[in-house]
Amino acid sequence: MSKQILLNAFNMNCIGHINHGLWTHPRDTSTQYKTLEYWTSLAKLLERGLFDGLFIADIVGTYDVYGQSVDVPLKESIQLPVNDPLLLVSAMAAVTRHLGFGLTANLTYEAPYLFARRLSTLDHLSNGRVGWNIVTGYLDSAARAMGLQQQPEHDRRYDQAEEYLQVLYKLLEGSWDDDAVIADRAQRVYARPDKVRKVEHQGEFYKVAGYHLCEPSPQRTPVLFQAGSSPRGLAFAGNHAECVFISGQDKPATRAQVDKVRAAAQAAGRDPQAVKVFMGITVIVAPTAQEAHAKHAEYIRYASPEAGVAHFASSTGIDFAAYGLDEPIGFAKGNAIQSATRQLQDSAWTRRRLLEQHALGGRYVTLVGTPEQVANDLIAWIDETGLDGFNLTRTVTPESYEDFIDLVVPQLQQRGRYKTAYQAGSLREKLFASGQPHLPADHPGATYRATYTSPAPTGALHHA
């Protein structure tokens, strides 16, 4: 049986996300991002299209590398202003039954004890439809805003992330047994003390002594997303991630990235096929090829290539504004996103070439065509690269999602490559068809729960 395509809408709690400048298009509604109606309408639309999830990106800090200022980010709203992504979930969960929510949170600036409570709360309120996109940050502007001189060194951030996950697993998986809550009114016992344990963690980065504040949520640990593609990031993903987000430009390179992700999972003792790999992609579709290309040309007229390059400047840590249009851009290893800087290292880039690459305001692969053409292209990407699905970016919102749902989804369904109904259960059960809402047995987080399932006196959890 051919692999069915998984699909997330890729968005952000802001105006300009990936394809910059399109907020100026007369049909775009992204300036309404501050209203609940904007998000609840989007959630209902995506559930109508049977999307697996709404993947909400986030940053802490501002893009101040390009021109050494925030002038372009402010004028073009390049992820500035940006609101908290987690606060959107309750409202969207209330108007949907199946749509998942992949939420980005930077662990560098989130205390694990309180963050564990926020995750459990949202998992409860959504009935098990929450995922966490684990990021460690890459903006020095964020570090300065949070009282640091600069970001910790790249690999050092992953060292901290490893310990952060240990703390979360202890809280989410190990502090409460599944049967701790009995809610017995007659005996006046809501939770059994012998089924709840104190977590005591003494590590290099974190010291925690306390009980998890929430009873076990449907998934306990949310579905774990991650996007690192450096050697250290891949090792982290292989150990922890259930879904990995990559950025591909061509099929051979994407195939190589997918293979590396699966190899990393296997090296960590996990089933390599248990990791779902998603690629960011932009789709512009219309009933005829002529209409699709006309729409693409129309969108380009409103897009901002400079805003796209300004965004990319902070991803690489290189001030492209300091270069002439045709001056070769020098590569230097930095402390930002390593996959972004590798793109510059692998070819001779100039600012003119970058502006051309960012004609639509972003640099993701863009498919333009009829519903049949787009469906064929998406299937080819899956079959030739080993991808499991896509994070579909927005261009003009909500038009780009409406077009995809009304035109492309039926084509994929006719080919048997996209679901015709949601499966029951949590987000994890839907993505993996496992019938199991919790972390699988071969995941390192599962050991924090499995070791502590038998009744025991109230005590401390010292799992290493």
Q: Is the pLDDT of residue 450 over 60?
A: no
**Averaged pLDDT for residues 308-326:** 94
Place of tokens 């050697």: 231
Condensed to tens digits (0 to 9), the pLDDT of residues 268-300 reads 999 999 899 999 999 999 999 999 999 999 999
Q: Is the pLDDT of residue 449 over 60?
A: yes
Check residue 452 and give its pLDDT: 43
Sign of CA dihedral 243, 280, 119, 180: negative
Sign of CA dihedral 178, 165, 163, 254: positive
Q: State the chain's maximal CA–CA distance in angstroms.
A: 79
Condensed to tens digits (0 to 9), the pLDDT of residues 198-253 reads 999 999 999 999 999 999 999 999 999 999 888 999 999 999 999 999 999 899 99
Q: Is the pLDDT of residue 16 over 90?
A: yes
Check residue 462 and give its pLDDT: 52
| Greater pLDDT, 333 or 459 | 333
Q: Is the pLDDT of residue 464 over 50?
A: no
**Beta bridge partners of residue 11, listed in sequence order:** 56
Q: Is the pLDDT of residue 439 over 50?
A: yes
Single-letter amino acid code for the residue at 228: G
Check residue 228 and give its pLDDT: 80
- Tokens representing 149 are 């001189």
How long is the chain?
A: 464
Q: Is the pLDDT of residue 3 over 70?
A: yes
How far is the C-alpha of 369 from the C-alpha of 286, rounded, in Å? 7
- For the chain, list the domains and their CATH numbers: 6-282+385-441 (3.20.20.30)
How far is the C-alpha of 363 from the C-alpha of 282, rounded, in Å? 9
Q: Is the pLDDT of residue 71 over 80?
A: yes
pLDDT over 70 for what percent of the chain?
Answer: 93
**Averaged pLDDT for residues 354-364:** 95
Condensed to tens digits (0 to 9), the pLDDT of residues 122-161 reads 999 999 999 999 999 889 999 999 998 888 888 999 999 9
Mean pLDDT score across all residues of the chain? 93
How far is the C-alpha of 237 from the C-alpha of 262, rounded, in Å? 9
Backbone angles phi and psi of 100, in degrees to 5: -85, 165
Confidence of residue 463 (pLDDT cuts 50, 70, 90): very low
- pTM reported for the whole predicted model: 0.93
Question: Which of 35-44, 92-101, 332-341, 375-384 is the least confident region?
Answer: 332-341
Q: What is the 3-state secondary structure (H, E, C) of the chain?
A: CCCCCEEEEEEECECECCCCCHHHCCCCCHHHCCCHHHHHHHHHHHHHCCCCEEEEECCCCCCCCHHHCCHHHHHHCECCCECCCHHHHHHHHHCCCCCEEEEEEEHHHCCHHHHHHHHHHHHHHCCCCEEEEEECCCCHHHHHHCCCCCCCCHHHHHHHHHHHHHHHHHHHHHCECCCCEEEECCCCEEECHHHECEEEEECCCCEEEECCCCCCCCCCCCEEEECCCCHHHHHHHHHHCCEEEECCCCHHHHHHHHHHHHHHHHHCCCCHHHCEEEEEEEEEECCCHHHHHHHHHHHHHHCCHHHHHHHHHHHHCCCHHHCCCCCCCCCCCCCCCHHHHHHHHCCCCCHHHHHHHCCCCCCCEEEEECHHHHHHHHHHHHHHHCCCEEEECCCCCCHHHHHHHHHHHHHHHHCCCCCCCCCCCCHHHHHHCCCCCCCCCCCHHHHHHHCCCCCCCCCEECCC
Check residue 339 and give its pLDDT: 55
Q: Is the pLDDT of residue 260 over 50?
A: yes
Q: Is the pLDDT of residue 459 over 60?
A: no
Check residue 457 and give its pLDDT: 37
How far is the C-alpha of 104 from the C-alpha of 11, rounded, in Å? 11
Q: Is the pLDDT of residue 180 over 80?
A: yes
Check residue 461 and give its pLDDT: 52
Check residue 456 and give its pLDDT: 39
Q: Is the pLDDT of residue 334 over 70?
A: no
